[in-house]
Amino acid sequence: MEKKETKNKSTKPAKMEPKNSGQKSNSASTVSQSPLEQFEKSMQIDYEKWHDGIGYDLEALKSASPTERKIIEDILVNHRPRGWRDIEALAQIDSANAQEAIKRAIKDSDPDVRIAVSRYAPKLVTNTERNKSLVNALATAELFGGLSQTLDDIEDYHPKEIKEALIKGLLSREGEVAVLFAAMLFYIYGKADEPFDMKQRPFFLRLNTENMEERVKAFLELCKELNIKPEKYLRQKAQSKRKSPL
């Protein structure tokens, strides 16, 4: 039986991507600024904001007048290169124009943007589009390039296609990524109370190896524990290796 949503989710390792929605305004520096000016200033992304996953100033957006809000909307719709922060803010604006921009973003070349669409505005895309975006991210996204955000998204949303992608990734992704996938699978399949169960970390770490024989051994143990039939995935891995030998 699949694990239902839990209210107390612990912090997972290597979480460097967006967890904070918006910013808290500094009264000393923003007291004389309008909400529009505060929001525009928050769009200047420095290293700290990038590193800590700090979004735009959503409190300033909430405080903006209708005229200022329309100006911000136009800025966001036309902002390039687009990022996840634009999607988060557009989802809050939630106007017809903002929704259309979000719908177009599901086809953006940046995986961060595509994942942001399914994270902040899941009702604006079909399940097929959402699944495709998440599966693609699980196969290609880097730890600091959309993967952590993807894993956040699938904690509570993991249809069959998502679980399949996680299982395949145990054999095809980098070792450190396979570790996170194993932990998430234990959570989804009800074998852990949180998305990264530290008590089972020693087992998860066994997948962090480029020695395929050792990884397959750990993979088989995981499949046995989660009642997953491994044959299909082993065949797919063998076929992939024949096509693109390392």
Pick from 123, 157, 191: which residue ends a domain?
Answer: 157
Q: Is residue 29 part of a domain?
A: no
Assess whether 145 and 166 both reside in one domain.
no
In a domain, 232, yes or no: yes
pTM for this structure? 0.72
Are residues 137 and 17 located together in one domain of the fold? yes
Q: What is the pLDDT of residues 102-161, one digit of tens each?
A: 999 988 888 889 889 988 998 998 999 999 989 999 999 888 778 888 998 899 999 999
What stretches of the chain show up as alpha helix (H) in DSSP? 27-30, 35-42, 47-52, 58-63, 66-78, 84-93, 96-105, 111-120, 127-140, 148-154, 160-172, 175-188, 201-205, 212-226, 231-243
Number of domains in the chain: 2
Residue 8 lies in a domain: no
Same domain for 49 and 68, yes or no, is: yes
Looking at the structure, do residues 95 and 128 belong to the same domain, yes or no? yes
Domain that holds residue 238: 160-246
Same domain, 128 and 75: yes
Is residue 28 one of the residues assigned to a domain? no
pLDDT in tens, 146-202: 888 899 889 999 999 999 999 999 999 999 999 999 999 999 999 999 999 999 999
